[in-house]
Amino acid sequence: MAALLGACVPAASQAASPQAGPDSASALVAAMRAGRLAPDSLVRRYRARIARTDAGPDGLHAILALNPDAVAQAAALARMRRVRGPLYGLPIMVKDNIETRDPLPTTAGSLALLGNVTHRDAPVIARLRAAGAIVLGKGNLSEWANFRSAHASSGWSAVGGLTRNPYDRARTACGSSAGSAVAVAAGLAAAAIGTETNGSVTCPAAVNGIVGLKPTVGLVSRTFVVPISASQDTPGPMTRTVRDAALLLGVMAGSDPADPATAQADRHRADYLAGLTPDALRGRRIGVLRFAQGKNPELRAVFDAALARLRAQGATLVEIGEFDRKSLGDAELTVLLSEFRTGVNVYLAQTPPAVKTRDLTALIAFDVAHADREMPSFEQDIFEESDKAPALSDPAYLTARATARRLAGAEGIDAMLAHDRLDALVAPTTGPAWLTDLVLGDRPGDGTGAGTLAAVAGYPHLSVPMGRVRGLPVGLSFIGTAWSEPALLAMGYAYEQAMAGGQGLTPQQFPPDGRSPGRPANRSGN
């Protein structure tokens, strides 16, 4: 089976068609279900790839820990010959703010949670495992899902160091699900699970050239996921292709009695693979969010080419010029600060006795006591603000929450869709990856992207590879109203296939060590 898994290179290095890659999750599952590939053999190949490319001073640092039982679990699955679930034998990487029953801590990247070994699966992981997936390991992340400091650098954690972008190691991997995205892009896992509060699935997907889906809040359980915001948090799949994302979402979606937000999930679950046809854009009306296209002329040119491709596939495009995002951002921050303190206090209070930090106040004190390792480059200003934020019963919080939802939902996405009878909205997901700066922190640029609208409204957001700016991947966002995942995935799939058919996804061969051709490894930083 040497053809399967190939060299485990980033997604863009495969054949022009995203569906043609032999190492897509769908292709790997088909091979294992047919008996052409053994699950334990596949796990060993990924582990070997990780050993070659992830660790050491020049490594990608996408992986925090490998599951020591993954090979044995895969071999046991193979012996159960009558069990062939939809994800049979699929090795996945899990962001390290999601609990798994494996003998690994769930750290959120913080030294304070090194003792957080719970020996339990979050319900979303239990669903994936029941479908045949193998937890290969835990992915690095921006510490505390990038909610510790306004001056943080994406992809850095005290536990794992700095995750590097495989297209240019001097540049950001973006968002808090950085390790999950890089694991998929660099061929270290067949797929990954990330989490998003605002941009943490879609931004790393875009800058690492993969597919990322932030589902409707309430479609996927958040139980036993280290929280930021009950209003906005959700796990989501990160994959090589839209088909793979649809495959994983079909398993992940569903209600959970412990998470009240998922009360409607079973009613809205769908066969997400059923609508994936190359002509799914024909007759669709799509709003173009010009206010979110940014000022980079090269990115705008790539976006214009994407719009032309949408038109060529039969979509009608409607220009949408302006939207005031400042008021939305102010209200969102108030909500996140209050919800984080409440949520993290509940979570910490229920951790194993080995975890000594039992609330946010203690966590702040821990970081001060371990400042040399926890705060070598940035502080914890967001933690400190959150510790003083209004309670969830406070009118200031309640007003901010109502305002944020109204601006993003009823007066934002829903109003845009209704005004012009649109099926979805599109915009660049973000700009090309910026240079990592551990002194000044993230510098994402000029307001490119409309992900905050979907994040605050709790609506789905799909990012699909759109093209490249000077060799760096950029993504195209498809945004819709609540529970519109089937339509977004169908449109994203049709766009993906049109990109492939028109050679829009230029193959790029990555060397075996995962380093981008023509770009030296970055030897500075963590």
Calculate what percentage of the chain has a pLDDT beyond 70: 90
d(C-alpha 140, C-alpha 67), whole Å: 14
- pLDDT of 491-502, one tens digit each? 999 999 999 865
Pairing of strands 63-66, 91-95: unpaired
Q: What letter would DSSP give residue 115?
A: T
> Averaged over 235-247, what is the pLDDT?
98
Alpha-carbon distance values, 327 to 164, 296, 320, 418, 456 (Å): 33, 24, 19, 22, 12
Assign 440 a pLDDT band (cuts: 50, 70, 90).
confident
pLDDT score, position 8: 37
Question: Which member of 200, 255, 463, 516 is catalytic?
Answer: 200
> Averaged over 403-432, what is the pLDDT?
97
User: Is residue 151 within 8 Å of 168, Cβ to Cβ?
Assistant: no
pLDDT score, position 325: 80
Provide the angle, in degrees to the nearest 10, between the axes of the packed helices 326-349 and 395-405. Answer: 120
Say whether pLDDT at 446 is over 90: no
> Averaged over 78-82, what is the pLDDT?
81
Which domains are present in the chain?
A: 11-327+401-501 (3.90.1300.10)
> Averaged over 407-418, what is the pLDDT?
97
Phi/psi at 114 (nearest 5 deg)?
Answer: -65, -25
> Averaged over 410-429, what is the pLDDT?
97
Say whether pLDDT at 357 is over 50: yes
pLDDT score, position 4: 41
User: Is residue 92 within 8 Å of 188, Cβ to Cβ?
Assistant: no
Listed in sequence order, the residues at least 6 apart from 210 whose beta carbon sits closer than 8 Å to its beta carbon are 11, 181, 184, 185, 238, 239, 240, 465
Count of H-run helices and E-run strands, the chain: 18, 13
Concerning whether 176 is annotated as a catalytic residue, the answer is: yes
Question: Which member of 13, 26, 95, 110 is catalytic?
Answer: 95
pLDDT score, position 80: 85
Assign 18 a pLDDT band (cuts: 50, 70, 90).
very low
Least confident of 20-34, 175-189, 229-243, 363-377: 20-34
Looking at per-residue pLDDT, the higher value among 109 and 58 belongs to 109
Assign 439 a pLDDT band (cuts: 50, 70, 90).
confident
Which residues does residue 162 pair with via DSSP β-bridges, in sequence order? Answer: 156
Listed in sequence order, the residues at least 6 apart from 176 whose beta carbon sits closer than 8 Å to its beta carbon are 95, 97, 141, 142, 145, 146, 147, 154, 194, 195, 197, 200
Most confident of 9-23, 358-372, 509-523: 358-372
Provide the angle, in degrees to the nearest 10, between the axes of the packed helices 70-79 and 39-53. Answer: 160
439 exposure class (CB count in 10 Å sphere: 0-12, 13-18, 19+): exposed
Please name the amino acid found at residue 132: G
Phi/psi at 436 (nearest 5 deg)?
Answer: -65, 135
| Residue of 280, 201, 307, 217 whose CA lies nearest to 253 | 217
- pLDDT of 97-142, one tens digit each? 999 999 999 999 999 999 999 999 999 999 999 999 999 999 999 9
d(C-alpha 284, C-alpha 491), whole Å: 9
- pLDDT of 131-166, one tens digit each? 999 999 999 999 999 999 999 999 999 999 999 999
| Residue of 133, 61, 55, 57 whose CA lies nearest to 92 | 133
User: Is residue 115 within 8 Å of 348, Cβ to Cβ?
Assistant: no
pLDDT score, position 257: 98
**What mean pLDDT, rounded, does the chain reach?**
91
Say whether pLDDT at 43 is over 60: yes
Concerning whether 377 is annotated as a catalytic residue, the answer is: no
pLDDT score, position 247: 98
Say whether pLDDT at 21 is over 70: no
Considering the entire predicted model, what is its pTM?
A: 0.93
Question: Which member of 142, 154, 157, 176 is catalytic?
Answer: 176
Copy the structure tokens of residue 163: 């995750």
pLDDT score, position 7: 35
Length of the chain: 526
* Order of strands across the sheet that contains 191-196: 63-66, 134-139, 91-95, 191-196, 234-239, 211-214, 461-469, 472-479, 424-428, 285-289, 316-320
Phi/psi at 208 (nearest 5 deg)?
Answer: -105, 5
Say whether pLDDT at 522 is over 60: no
Concerning whether 13 is annotated as a catalytic residue, the answer is: no
d(C-alpha 99, C-alpha 109), whole Å: 13
Copy the structure tokens of residue 441: 């922190």
Q: How far apart are the first and last CA of the chain?
A: 37
> Averaged over 447-459, what is the pLDDT?
94
pLDDT score, position 83: 67
- pLDDT of 162-210, one tens digit each? 999 999 999 999 999 999 999 999 999 999 999 999 999 999 999 999 9
Q: What is the DSSP string of 143-191?
A: HHHH-S-TT--TTEETTTEE---TT-TTB---STTHHHHHHHHTTSSSE
